[in-house]
Structures are given as C-alpha cells and as structure tokens.
Structure 1
Amino acid sequence: MKNLNYKQFILSVVLFIVFLLNPAYADSESVLNLAVRAPQSISTFIQASLNHQPELLAAEANIDLAKANLRASRQPIYNPNLEFNYEKSGLTTRSVGISQTIDWANQQDHRESVANAKLNQEISHYQVIKQTFISGLLISLAKNQTEKQLLKLSSESLHLMLEFKQIAERRYLAGDLTKVELNLATLAYNQALMEQAAAYSNSMSAYEALQSIADVRPSEIPVLPEQLPQPNLPQDLDLFLNTLPVIKAELAEIEAARQQVLLSKSEQSWDPTIGVTIGTEGSDDLIGLNLNIPLNIRNNFSAEVDIAYQNMVSREYLSQKTYRNLRTSLKVSTERYRSLLTVWNNWRENNRGHVAEQLALVNQLWQAGDINATDYLLQIKQALEIKITGYRLRNQLWQVAFDWMKVTASVDQWLDINVAYKEKG
C-alpha cells in the first residue's frame, strides 16, 4: 500500500471513530414531532398486515444469518493438532504430541468486529424495508380509496346524464328542444357510460394491487384521514439524517469495510505453531518442543490488504453519495409535501361545499327549464371536474405524505407502532 494511501486510511479511521464516539450522534433517535396521528383503525390494519410478508421474513432471515456469522466469528480460528508416531527400526520409537497455532495478530477479534458491523447493517436494513413496505401499503390504500370514490362519482354523473337525456327526450317530443340539443344529451349519456366503465376498471385494478400486498376484504379496508401532519424538519438537519436507518446502514457497512482492512492486515501475521512431544525411544524417554513459523515470503498477502482498503474507500464514497442524495430528497419532498398540503387545505375549506351546492342548483334550474341543454351540460361537467380534481389532489397529497414519512422514517410515529427489530424469544 502506498504511503499516501496509508495516511488517508489512518485519517479516515480516526475521523470515523470520532464520529461514532460523538455523543450527539451515538444512539440518537428521530427528533420529529408529528402533532397529528393516524386513526386507530389505520394503525390496527397496518399492524395486522405486517404478519407473514415475504420481504419482511426475508429481512429477518438475513438478520438470523448475520447472527449465525457473528457466532461463528467468535469461535477460535485454530484447533489444536494431536499427533501419534510409531517407528521401528533398530529401536522402537513411540511418541505422542500436541500442537497449537497461535492467533498472533488477533484475527478472531477483527472477524467478530466485521460480523458485528454486518449484523448492525442488516438490522438497519430491516427497518428500512419495513418502513418502505408500510409506506407502499398506505399509498396503495390511498389509490384504492381514490379510485373507489371516483367510481362512485362516475355513477352519480351517469345518473345525472340519464336524467338529462330523459328530460331532453320529453322536451324534444313537446317541441321545446331542438334536435341538436337532444343529440348533445344522448352523446353526454354515452360518454358517461364509457367513463363509468373506465372508472370501474381503474377501481378494480387499484383493489387488485392492494390485494397483492394485503389480503383483505373490501369491508375490512380502513378509510384514510384527510388531515395530515405538517412536514416540519429539525433545525439540525445533519444530526437528524444520521438517526435515519438508511444512514445507519451505510455507517455499519463502512465499519464492516474498515474492520475488513484490519482483518486483512492481521492475516499477514506469521502465526507460529508451538508443539510438545513426549514418548520413548528404545529404553530412553523422549521429550521435544516444536516451533513452526510460516514464512510469508513468496506471498505476503499485501494484495488482499489493498483489495480490502480500496473496497473501504469505495464504500465511503458511495455512502457520501447516499447521504447527499438523501439530504436533497428530504428537502425536496418536504417542500413538495408542504405545498400540496396548503393547496389541499385551501380546496377542502373553500371548494368542497360549493361544488355540491352548484350541482344541486344547476340540476334544479335544468329541471325547471330555466337553462338550456348546453349551459346545463357545461356547468355540470365543470362542477364534476372540480370534484374529480379534488379527489386526485388528495390522492397526490397522500402519496407525497407517505413518501415523506418513508424518507424521514416517521411513518411508525404517525401510526404509533414499533417497526424496530425484535429479538426472537
């Protein structure tokens, strides 16, 4: 290893240790404070859906594998050797010996450190996978609820267009409506039929997607709340980022790579083998001491150290990229969430009641004959489109909110459930 690289390695090790020992970062928890929490029905549904999920079971299996590797790493590297010897020529020689190779450079401790870091990495990965699964399930719930309500709205629209067509036919027969207006009513009804078919298909697709995640009957699907927490971030964003499972997993992977470098260096050691032999040679007693030292001359294993070092450097750079991307994603998703939440709250307060009132008023005017067919259709379509826009805006808000909760690892706080790995009792 070049001298410059070695100095960089020592510097990175020192900085990493200082980082880990910093009490501001050690064992710190998320400092987000969500004022609004999910309804109990949502929390209960999500908690029940976590059972028997393949990706979560696979993550638990990876933790068990890491634990098994940790137990294996705690075992001694070398076993003693027992040797028996019998030789008969002029004299009969009998001997028994025992030898033990010594872990001179403490490889066992370094192997245990590598395995322990990988276990911490798998535990952090488990939390990431669980948060991602819950976020995906909530987004699927939002999609299903939105498409279901759009289907209901399309049925209402179809009913209105049917009434529109029937009234238009009666007025046409009475001579109060032109053929053009009758055709307009017929076309509007046919369009409503096609829109309902499309809405039904979308609703079934959304339900099918939800079923693929959580096997649930329609009556068991909870209703998502329209009131969501404000996306407030802590002032010290860097401190907060280092509490997230994604970053903890990256730090654990760097630590595993660092320990692998130390392990590779320890494997360069000339581990001696010491042995004792006792026996008889003819009528004489025989005792011997043996020392065996491997000569790492033709291969001093420096290439393995370089490989481990370059892997550590690569991991550090990739972790920096992950950190930077997560920091940017956190800022962007927070601003997007805040903007959509403001727009949605404004729509909910100022438009929802007016849309229902407008639909009723326009329908009343049409049935009374106070507006023509063209004006009726235009105003009905406009009111329905505003309602559709509201549903889609709310769905977009839900998706952004749940994605933000995944990025900030706060979905468990919103649901008031525990996503941490639990030791099997």
Structure 2
Amino acid sequence: MFPMRAAPFGAVCVFLVASVAASPSPPPVKAAVEALWRDNPQVQAAEANLRAAHERASGAAQPFYNPSLQLEGENADVDRRTAGASLALDVTGKRKARIAESDADVRARTAELALARRDITLDWLKGWTGVALAHDQAALGRRRVELMQAFDALAAQRLKTGDISSPERDLAALALGEALVQQASLDTQEADARAALAITGTANAPNAANAANAQIVTTDLPPAATTIIPLSADERPDLLLARAAQDRADAAVTVADRARRPDPTISVTGGQVRSGPRTDRVIGVSVSMPLPVRDSGRYSVSAARAEADAAYASTRAAALRTDAQLVRAQATYTALRTASETFGKGRAGAFDERARLLEKLWQASEITTSDYLLQLKQSLDTAVSGIALQNQAWQAWFDYLAAAGRLPAWIDGTDKDTSP
C-alpha cells in the first residue's frame, strides 16, 4: 500500500485567516501587518506626506502678512531721522481660503495613507496565499514522488515474478522520472513565491511551523459574502480620497481668486527733522494699494476652476469605479467560494480512496499500468485544482474585504458590522 493523503490547504494562509469566520483577525496578523506598515516604504512616504500636510495646515493658520520695518536717515540742508512700520491687511480673506485648502489637503493625505496601508496589506495577504498555494502544491508533488517511488519498486518486483511486462516496468520508471522533474519545478515555484513576498518585507510574518504549533491549521472556507455589510460608498477610502481632492481643488479656486484681489497696506512713520537750530517731530500715516492692471490673475483662477472641474469628474468616476469593484468582488468571491465548497463535498475530493482503489485494481491486474498512471495523474491534477480553487477563494475574500472597505477593520479585529 502506498496511499496518497490529501494535502491540507494553505497552512501559512490559514494561519493568517483561521479566525475569519468570527470576523476579527488573529492577533498575530495584526502584529505582522503593523510591522509591515512600519517597514514599508510606500506607507512611510504616505505618512511623511501626511505630516507635511499637517505642517502646512499649521502654517496656513498663521497671519497671511508680516509687518515691515523701515529706517531712514538723511544729512543735508535738513537732517531727517525717521522710523516706520507697515502692514498689509488681509481684507479679502486670503488666510481663510488658505486654511480651507490646507484642511482639504490633510484629509486627502489621510485618505492616501489609508489607501497605501490597505493596498500593501492586501498585496501582503494575497502574497501569503500565493506562498501557501505553492507550498501545498510542492507538498502534493512530494507525495506524488513518494507514490511513484513505491510504484517503481513494486513494478520491479512484479517484473521479476512475471506479473508485468518489461515495457510496463519501463513505464513505471518513466513516471518516476517525470515526477522528479515536475517536483523540481514545483520547488522552484515555491521559492519564487517566497522571494516575491519577501520584497514587500515580511520579517515578522507567520509561517507554516508556528501555524501548526498554534493548532489552527484548517481547510475551512471564509464566511459567506452576506456576513459582511460593505461600508457606504462615501466611507470607502477610494471615494474619501477623491472627495478630499475635489474639496482641495475647489478651495484652490478660492485661493486663486483671493490672490488676485489686492489688499491695502497701512504705513506709520515717526521721527524728527532738524533744520538749523530748529527741530520738529513728524508723524505720518499712509495707505497704499497695488493696482492689478498688468496681471489681473484671472488666468490663474480659470486654470484652478478647470482643475476643480477635473477633480469633480474624477470623483464621479471614483464613485462608479468603487461600486463596480464591490459588485465584481462580491460576485467573484461568491462564485469561487461556492465552487470550492461544492468541490470539497463531492467525490472529486476523495483522493485517498481513489488512490487506494487504483492500487488494488492494478495489483489485481484489472487495469493496466498505463491506465493506472493515467487515472492517478488525473487524480493528482484534480487535487492540485482543488488546492488552487480554495486558494483563489481566499484571495477573492481579501479582495471583497478591500472593496467593501472592511479590510482595515478586519485587521484591527473591530469589524462588528456583520449581518445576522
């Protein structure tokens, strides 16, 4: 006997998602994701941009104009010594417009950070499911090699007793050689998957070993899509970013309009003037106003309005896109989950039973060696397809969480908005 056991799906992947049916993610996932955020350059860049936006907002809240100090001295027929100060008055609301623009920029940068964290987390989780797929396929390949080695040894014994012919013995040897070649390819694919995942930075990520120690290795599928209530479109990060960008563009129109409007400057001068033996104190007040006759600034306003129109169109496109992504992600996940669930319940998943039955039939010479190898190959291909199908269901689940706006809440373990 050399039965083939069915490979458990995704020890690594399941370690990440074992508790997903209850909605909150396992604590190791949250810790690993937080470590990933700290080390990922995209997230670091988004965090730096947000800090810069906060600093710009603090600067925008400061008074728009600074005062000017002027000192004058003159030695001639009349000696003059004066000091003056001037200050432009923000009567057109430049500071208020700048504050509105910077606040919108802070909201946009906050949404960008949320998107960066969501995207890198999604790539990371899907990367681990890819590693899990490669790992399980390689494990199944190793079982195939063991099976072919036992079959090759048994074929050699049966050749000596005259139960099979020499060509059938050669067929068993060729099957073993093919299995070894395919196993080398599967091992390479697993190494490539791990190398690709390492690029995102997963030094503290869980692995198959500690998953087994935690006794949470399972082949359960994620919950049905109906257990998750998607966030409203206005609450999803994609649309939050688009609306914040639109608000920023609208505020930029006001900033450009206020910039073209001149503000008055008030100057106060005081000092003394000496002419011969006489010395007089002087005080002067003046008001000046720039004249926007050569550059009225209207082109800057027109350009800002065009950019605001583009931002508005982008917001509408983002709303359509986020709704379409949600519908597609939900439909894809439901289809893959249903197919995987059906596969697991059907006869297609009875790998052990089929392998034992095929062996008995071959031992009893009821099927030829070529038929045995052909049917065994079909069984192995079916097993690989089942692993790939379940892996695709998990990846579709992550896509659905992201499209529904629930992935960050699942990572934090705070997603309680599940339907009854």
Q: TM-score range by the shorter chain?
A: 0.7 to 0.9
**What SS is found at the alignment partner of 1:85?**
strand
**Cα gap change, 1:202/1:375 in structure 2, threshold over 3 Å: closer, same or farther?**
same
Residue in 2 that maps onto 1:246: 238
Report matched runs for 1:14-413 at 5 Å: 36-213=23-200, 214-216=202-204, 218=207, 222=211, 226-232=220-226, 240-282=232-274, 283-351=279-347, 354-413=350-409
Kept in 2, the 8 Å contact 1:42–1:224? The answer is: no
Provide the C-alpha distance between the structure 1 equivalents of 2:170 and 2:98, rounded to a whole number of angstroms. 81
TM-score (norm 1): 0.84
Provide the C-alpha distance between the structure 1 equivalents of 2:102 and 2:402, rounded to a whole number of angstroms. 28
5+ residue gaps, structure 2: 1-19, 212-216, 416-420
Displacement after TM superposition at 1:369 (Å): 4.4
**Cα gap change, 1:41/1:294 in structure 2, threshold over 3 Å: closer, same or farther?**
closer
Residue in 2 that maps onto 1:27: none
- The residue type paired with residue 225 of structure 2 is P
**What SS is found at the alignment partner of 1:291?**
strand
Provide the C-alpha distance between the structure 1 equivalents of 2:30 and 2:85, rounded to a whole number of angstroms. 63
Displacement after TM superposition at 1:384 (Å): 1.2
TM-score (norm 2): 0.85
**Cα gap change, 1:94/1:48 in structure 2, threshold over 3 Å: closer, same or farther?**
closer
**What SS is found at the alignment partner of 1:392?**
helix
**What SS is found at the alignment partner of 2:232?**
helix
- The residue type paired with residue 103 of structure 1 is D
Higher mean Cα deviation, 241-250 or 406-415? 406-415
**Cα gap change, 1:375/1:138 in structure 2, threshold over 3 Å: closer, same or farther?**
same
- The residue type paired with residue 140 of structure 1 is G
Residue in 1 that maps onto 2:10: none
- The residue type paired with residue 226 of structure 2 is N
5+ residue gaps, structure 1: 1-32, 420-425
Q: Cα RMSD between the aligned structures?
A: 2.4
Kept in 2, the 8 Å contact 1:34–1:414? The answer is: no
> How many residue pairs were aligned?
385
Provide the C-alpha distance between the structure 2 equivalents of 1:254 and 1:351, rounded to a whole number of angstroms. 55
- The residue type paired with residue 312 of structure 2 is E
Kept in 2, the 8 Å contact 1:158–1:193? The answer is: yes
Kept in 2, the 8 Å contact 1:131–1:409? The answer is: no
Displacement after TM superposition at 1:207 (Å): 1.5
Kept in 2, the 8 Å contact 1:73–1:112? The answer is: yes
**What SS is found at the alignment partner of 1:232?**
helix
